[in-house]
Amino acid sequence: MRPLIVALTLALAVPAFALPASAAPPGQDAAKNHHRVKDLRDLARKHGIRIGSAVDVAALRAEADYRHVLNREFTHLTAENAMKWESVEPERGVYTWDDADAVVANARRNGQQVRGHTLIWHNQLPGWLTSGVEDGSIGPAELRKILREHVQTQVRRYKGKIRAWDVVNEAVDDDGNMRQTIWLQHLGPGYIADAFRWARAADPRAKLYLNDYNVEWNQGKIDRYLSIVQELQAQRVPIDGMGFQGHLGIQYDYPGDWADVMRRFAALGLEIAVTEMDVRMVLPVTPEKLATQAEYYSRALTDCLSVKACREFTVWGYTDRHSWVPGWFDGEGAACILDENLRPKPAYQALLATARR
């Protein structure tokens, strides 16, 4: 998605690069809750967890301040759009790896790991593929061949450089049914097992994930994914993890059972990751909304830390300067932990103060 700039009506009076480790989150006494970590990398080391961010590649290249904070704060990176199919193969057989390579190269220079996002999705597909399926020039047998080539080409290119792949993204709809995508409609449900097997063959060491939104609370999705995982395991399909996107909004209740849901998937032997965390609000920004946002971020990290199998907590962009939210949710925004000037919001401080329970 194209990042849009959200103008915050409230800014914290903190220099852009001075992210203090001593300011207490709203409603807490600063002396009593003095932070023992200086930044999110310190927090990651303290808790033995990966703290990550989605990466806007244009900003990575063009904005030194964005790049500086990204590399100082985070131990894990996800390309927001650069590894999606329309980005890497805009024309059939013509690959454009520059943006994806830039994310991987930046991570390697700065001691960060990478989540590959995403191999198979129903959105952001190249036009040559969708039009070919629509007009019948690409039939089921050829579509399966194309899908296999895509998965294996991309995974092989980054073999040994990607810690985990979102192999299949958003395979279940909001009613808990298999999403009616070109993959399901033309290849049947077996496309999921095929994709995981192809990815494992291309890079045996990468962790392989399912990933979706609203699995934090949507019972239909939860039940369907538990069933999918068990079916895959029964077929000896190499699935390693479940990704919870974590796109929340303060106008809705926090998903209070999230940690328990994580445990249900962990009980199946899966690694757990929070993969796309953000907490949007209806604009304009107010101090009260920022305080609620901070609480939601802290609760999400607390839930992750309470589950031994939860190994990653990634925010879907760390600054309101580059956020997908305003482009998708009319009148909403300010979803990130730093404002558009890279100044820390209460949510950032709340994360630093979060303790394992």
Active-site residue numbers?
A: 170, 276
Least Cα distance to 92 among 56, 57, 138 occurs for 138
Identify whether the C-beta of residue 319 lies closer than 8 Å to the C-beta of residue 66.
Answer: yes
What amino acid is encoded at 284 in this protein? Answer: P
Paired strand residues for 243: 211, 273
Identify whether the C-beta of residue 342 lies closer than 8 Å to the C-beta of residue 319.
Answer: yes
Identify whether the C-beta of residue 207 lies closer than 8 Å to the C-beta of residue 155.
Answer: no
Residue reference for tokens 């009148």: 331
Q: How far apart are CA 318 and CA 133, in angstroms?
A: 37
What amino acid is encoded at 71 in this protein? Answer: N
Residue reference for tokens 């998708």: 328
**What is the number of other CB atoms lying within 10 angstroms of the CB of residue 135?**
8
93, HSE (Cβ side, Cα atoms, 13 Å)? 1
